[in-house]
Structure 1
Amino acid sequence: MINKDNLVKIILNNIVEGAISFIIGLIPFLYAYFSSIFNNMTFYEYLKSISWYIYIIFFIPFIAMLIIVVIKSKMKEGTLPFRIVHCGFTTICRYNYNGLCWDISISSDYDDHPSLYQILNHFNVEDTPRCPKCGTKLEYSKHLLWYTWNCIECNFKYRTWNSHQKMVKRVKYLFERKLEKELEERYNDN
């Protein structure tokens, strides 16, 4: 869970990153302003005398920082500040999504052969996917611009821009739609 201290650190980090990139982007203008004072030139004339590549060199970090901020904001979509723990579930099948195997489970309260309706209304996608090569549960790590799933047994790696919660939600939606299609086929055949 995010506490107040971590939230303050995150906000201050974003403010400092933005301020630094803004100052770097202003360097050519500040240089032109102060140089024009000492060289008896107007500010505009001095701006025109600076080579075009100087502007590019100083604007690249500013533009890169903007791109990173946009990517990070997209990565944080769908993330929760806490984890939901499910107890008493039995795995009924595996569902493949984006090269990862996700366990689909249902409450242990149901019998050994639950109906499609019971599965559709009460299934759960396990939090941790399994390796498609060896079946071991994968470790999850967060990086600056992506997320990585690693297998500790066979060194399988999978990188994605989607957060863990977003991937679980997509698996849930896709598996739910698969079950709905199966039910539609059964009723259309009758």
Structure 2
Amino acid sequence: MRKLIIGITGASGACYGIRALQMLREIEDVQTHLVISPSGMRTALEEGTGLSGEDIRALADVCHHHKDIGASIASGSFRADGMLVAPCSIKTLSGIAHCYADDLMTRAADVCLKERRRVVLMVRETPLHAGHITLMDQATRSGAIIMPPVPGFYTQPKTIEDLVTQTVGRALDLFDIDHPSVRRWKKECATEA
């Protein structure tokens, strides 16, 4: 059984973390461990996801309290495939970049990094100033992958859900999790004009 930690922070875009949980439920050999910050929960409710806190937590196989630094995922002995933080606030990015593990979100990410496990941060902020870019550079140097949820349009999305699903699917690709809803680029034979 593969294990993936999903973090949902207070940045706009709670739909990314929620969609990741929904998509992972469709894959039988992946167990999800959820950490959602109070700000993440508030944002999810205010963004009109249509889900209650209970609904969101029910999407995960295991839920952990954001302050429980004694949780299983806070230890390197917990065998996880990695962590996806979707969305990732600048505050959380800062904690991860500076190894400031004052809650379970940043502690779990720090543990994954020290154990050389994949950490994907869907950083949600724009525009960026030099401090944000420095934090992303620092997190990358520690082993994290920065993946802002920038949509691709070659798939010709028809709805916001199409955009979210494709973006989350590409994030899951980084964990070698292939979801059937991801649309792949198809190169066609081109003739010279």
Normalized against structure 2, the TM-score is what?
Answer: 0.20
Normalized against structure 1, the TM-score is what?
Answer: 0.20
Tell me which of the two structures has the higher relative contact order, counting C-alpha pairs closer than 8 angstroms and 6 or more residues apart: 2
Q: Which has the larger radius of gyration?
A: 1
